[in-house]
Structure 1
Amino acid sequence: MSDTTVLAPNAPARPDTDSPKRREVIEGARRVFFDKGFDGASMDEVARAAGVSKATIYAHFSSKDELFEALVLSERNRSAEHLFEVDPAVQDIDGVLRHIGVSFMKMMVRPDHIRLIRMVIGVAEKFPRIGFSFFDAGPNHGGRRLGELLREETARGRVDLQGEDAVEVAHLFLNMCNGNFVKAMMFTGAPPPAVEDIEAVVDRAVRVFLASYGRAA
């Protein structure tokens, strides 16, 4: 069975989509894809890395691109778990936005995350579904979550969105936090920025954001 073979219509039903064995396969795939890249990875190598048979992999995933898509979603979900958790002890909107911005950027500049972005870009033309999954589970998900928070802050009277779409405003803030860090790492191989550099850019983004949407404005 080749790496891109699709299961026949009469193939047995797939096992539980969150079973321990499936997670083992994804973890093995993570090691292989991050080491070899999408084109260089094979299902045989994934089977060895996961400690399972190749038949077990195909019981869960019909092809290498489907397995990679599952890895993409797993990585994004794992990164987003704590991203928008706000400490209830933080009462000022400046502190809330700063926490979100710094957490977001620490995740964005992880070397593994940069490698994942490069792989997704490399396969998105051939497998546009993977690109869409990455975009929806990543940038779009972050914008939606922060948009919800901004609506809550508007109801509390701490933010004034001035009638603008909350999700669009959320993307504006996250893009300001991004600065030029991710592009520099992707295209020049620059090392991850120091935490203090991330904090400086995020602090500037918070000031600019609140100058337009803060209640004091």
Structure 2
Amino acid sequence: MGAAAQPIRKGRKYDQVLDGARHVFMRDGFEGASVDDIAREAGVSKATLYSYFPDKRLLFMEVAKCECFRQASEAAELITCSLRPREVLMIAATRMIAFVLSDFGMRVFRICVAESDRFPDLGREFYESGPALARAHVVDYLRDAVARGELVIDDLQLAADQFAELCKADLFARVIFGVGGPVTEADRQRIATGAVEMFLARYGVTG
């Protein structure tokens, strides 16, 4: 596939192509996924695949955007006003850590960094439909929690960004640089709990 970035054409087999590509990318990763495998999994010809996505990176990023949108929406549905901030933040932290450390999340990060000079729109579009959406959900929750008197926050956007960074502490650098051995479930719980505790120590209601 060529490297030229161009608008994505949507047609009746668009979702079919995305579903097949998502399965193959999740199974084989970006480098291991072949056009032949994606077309076969999607049940379309290579010509049809090329007509929608002339570049494999464009296809991967579209799958990544849809996946992030799905995960952000699912996380938002789990958050209800009946849950206390500690419970909500643990749900959010667990979701964030799972995605950031996944092979899929790592691939997305590396591609965005590697292609940022040639195709800056890829990273921007992914951010707006993925991380920015998740950030907006967190901000909305924090705003409501402040209104209910459960948290005390002046800068909601900054607080949301701080929480996201707390969820990446230690583990993200270990995975991205391939050091420190495999990440265990205990590692994930340690970081999630630490992120929530530190966030509440700063913004929680005392007394």
TM-score (normalised: structure 1) = 0.77
Cα pair distance change 1:62/1:45, threshold 3 Å: same
Does structure 1 conserve the Cα–Cα contact (< 8 Å) formed by 2:97 and 2:188?
A: yes
Cα pair distance change 1:99/1:55, threshold 3 Å: same
Q: Identity of counterpart residues, as a percentage?
A: 28
Q: Which residue of 199, 204, 209 corresponds with 2:199?
A: 209
Which residue of structure 2 lines up, in the alignment, with residue 142 of structure 1? 134
Query: Structure 1 stretch 48-57 or stretch 25-34: which is displaced more?
Result: 25-34
How far apart in 2 are the matches of 1:195 and 1:89? 28
Which residue of structure 2 lines up, in the alignment, with residue 3 of structure 1? 2
Query: 1:111-141: CA deviations, max 9, x gaps?
Result: 2322232233222222111111222223322
Query: Structure 1 stretch 73-82 or stretch 125-134: which is displaced more?
Result: 73-82
Does structure 1 conserve the Cα–Cα contact (< 8 Å) formed by 2:163 and 2:199?
A: yes
Cα pair distance change 1:205/1:65, threshold 3 Å: closer
Alignment of 1:55-204 (within 5 A): 55-86=47-78, 88=80, 91-161=83-153, 163-164=154-155, 166-188=156-178, 193-204=183-194
Does structure 2 conserve the Cα–Cα contact (< 8 Å) formed by 1:15 and 1:59?
A: no
Does structure 1 conserve the Cα–Cα contact (< 8 Å) formed by 2:25 and 2:60?
A: no
- In structure 1, stretches of 5+ residues that fail to align are 8-13
Q: SS at 1:84's partner residue?
A: helix
Does structure 2 conserve the Cα–Cα contact (< 8 Å) formed by 1:37 and 1:119?
A: no
How far apart in 2 are the matches of 1:81 and 1:62? 29
Cα pair distance change 1:190/1:173, threshold 3 Å: same
Does structure 1 conserve the Cα–Cα contact (< 8 Å) formed by 2:61 and 2:108?
A: no
TM-score (normalised: structure 2) = 0.81
How far apart in 1 are the matches of 2:5 and 2:118? 16
How far apart in 1 are the matches of 2:72 and 2:145? 20
Does structure 1 conserve the Cα–Cα contact (< 8 Å) formed by 2:69 and 2:133?
A: no
How far apart in 2 are the matches of 1:59 and 1:99? 40
Q: SS at 1:216's partner residue?
A: coil
**Bigger Rg over Cα:** 1
- In structure 2, stretches of 5+ residues that fail to align are none
Distance apart, 1:97 and its partner CA: 1.1
Does structure 2 conserve the Cα–Cα contact (< 8 Å) formed by 1:32 and 1:45?
A: no
Cα pair distance change 1:32/1:140, threshold 3 Å: closer
Query: 1:53-99: CA deviations, max 9, x gaps?
Result: 23322443354443333222122223323223335485322122112
Aligned residue pairs total 205
How far apart in 1 are the matches of 2:45 and 2:5? 17
